[in-house]
Structure 1
Amino acid sequence: MQLVVSDVAVEVTRKDIKNMHLRVQPPDGRVVLSAPYSVSDAAIDGFVASKLAWIRKQQTDIASQKRQTQREGVTGETMYVWGKQCFLTVVEGRGYSVDIAGQDAILTVRAGSSFEQREAHMREWYRKQLQNETERRLPVWEERTGLFCAEWKTKYMKTRWGSCNPGVRRIWLNVQLAKHPVACLDYVILHELAHFVERSHGPKFVAVLDEYMPTWRSVRKELNNGPLDYIR
């Protein structure tokens, strides 16, 4: 259901949880609330009203985040690779490839290729970067925490950096993490593993983050304030 509190629209989902959880999600500052089945509508209204100042600050922060301009796949554009800004040079060749040398990113494309073809190749290139790094980093965090996933996959997501299904111990990672520092990938991996301990973001969940990554709050802030390129 949706409710409006002092001109703030809130999407409310009732779940089998103990406490209410409020989120302001990029890229549009959408406000989402998870609430226990037992909580009344009046209690939800009061909870949201008490958080209005925080909600507006989060929405302001999201609105000011740096985003990549709409790409056209041409020389002179910028791209981010593991937190580093690179400058794109497009050259024609027999196939598609991406080569990074310092701050230079050389994108080789077929003659007459469309933007859609170039974009599709770039997306798959980013996916491969994330897959390679996850294969390296995930076992480290599994060994540290003793929390193991049965399967992990990658996909483009508009509003989440990761998601998981604790029941089958499956993790999904947003391909766009490859644009951010590796520490951000570490945080998302740990975040999703922590949900194997507690499905919500309650005390047990936070305790896992605090124990294995004491700096997780600053890393999360860096991730959410980094370059964004949400998929249309």
Structure 2
Amino acid sequence: MLELVDVKKQFPQPGGGTLTVLDIPKLSIDAGEQVVLIGRSGGGKSTLLHTIAGITKADGGQVIVNGYDIARLSEAGRDRFRAGAIGYVFQTFNLLGGFTALENVRLGMTFGSGRHDIARARHLLERVGLADRMHYKPSQLSVGQQQRVAIARSLAGRPKLLLADEPTANIDPANQQTIIDLIRDTCREEQVALLLVTHSMQVAEQFDRIEKFEDLNRAMATASI
């Protein structure tokens, strides 16, 4: 489902030269597999997810998702591919404040297929425990409820791969386990591969497969961001 081969990403520095943030020889995830990537905050994990999603273009190597090397696609091509094959749960949710929970999830479908499957949108919101909050706007929801909407939206387009970037970072401790369980159970039911990024060992220890970012990324030996 996901294969990275010699992936590199660099950023220009104010004083000249470049900083290598990613230098990853290899990473692979099978269809339906759930993998956690653990590493310290500010180490480049979000840059890796952005590169896998095609939000950021790799400077070298292969980023193969569901058989397609998205590193070879144009920006527009990466956007189209991401909409149809990759779900993304952001730390900051990125919900549209002027739209209800149901409308936010339906927009996730529009980006992927251009179709509005209202029955699926309702099903996903029911699945994440928001059957009675479908017509609430983000400002009317708690932080945990907003994250649940974001999870439902990320699955709206029936992705093959879900990327979750520190999904409990802005959630109070009492609800963090609920969010992790929700993501994992929903991915299992939808048969979606999962790559979840965290700095929490408590979260990481729940996964059968743990990848340590400092072992995966050779750039961390010489640089940090």
TM-score (norm 1): 0.29
TM-score (norm 2): 0.29
Determine which structure has more spread, i.e. the larger CA radius of gyration: 1
